[in-house]
Structure 1
Amino acid sequence: MGVPLQRSPREAGMIEMLPKSDEHVEQEACPERRLMLAVLLTAIRDASGINIVGTPHCRRQTQMLAFGWIKDGDSDFQEVCALAGLDPNATRRKALQFIGDPRNSVGRRYVRSRPAS
């Protein structure tokens, strides 16, 4: 038995928007599935520009790499979705709707890389 996952309201919204391909498998029951779901949520968070730290160049690069991974939907993305028990095409479509166009949001949702003086 593991400790229940604590999620922010925004992360809970990300989870709710992801389509389920297998409603009969309890999400919290399988560690591998939880890991793959965490990979997807991290990519969605990064592509959205949420809580990325570092220099502006590093933040933009991280955001655009995550967005490209989701948008391209290559075999790695499809495998992660399958291991998470999600339909890759529906997940990609819903994730892109949630993210929007990162070119319009780069720099708006970042955490500062160091405290203000």
Structure 2
Amino acid sequence: MSYYFSKTLDMTFNEATTHVTKALAAKGFGVLTTIDVRATMKDKLGEEFKPYTILGACNPHFAWRALQQEDKIGTMLPCNVIVSKVTPGKTEVAAVDPLASMASVDNPALTEIAGEVQHLLRDIVRDL
């Protein structure tokens, strides 16, 4: 089982980041965190890395439902979506597969919720 789904876009890194954020919002996801991995690696390790951002996306409706089933499920939230530069003018977007990340939790109700979120995230990535 793959733990993510992805798509390469014919956009600059900045354009793709904006595009993905808007696509997530259109499906009810807010971006709670934005981690600039490139800047962090440079600042903390002195290492150069390609433009790479982790967006912590959350749909409050689904997060609430999941928390009602497992109060420690917050350790696996939010859903991470990465935006990374492939080449000039090409950017890859990859989203976590919630079913894969929740596989270790033995809770059928949670699996159902993760399946719904998987469907939404897969559609978002596909339609970018």
Q: Shorter-chain TM-score category?
A: 0.3 to 0.5
User: Which has the larger share of strand?
Assistant: 2
User: Which has the larger share of helix?
Assistant: 1
TM-score, L = length of structure 1:
0.37
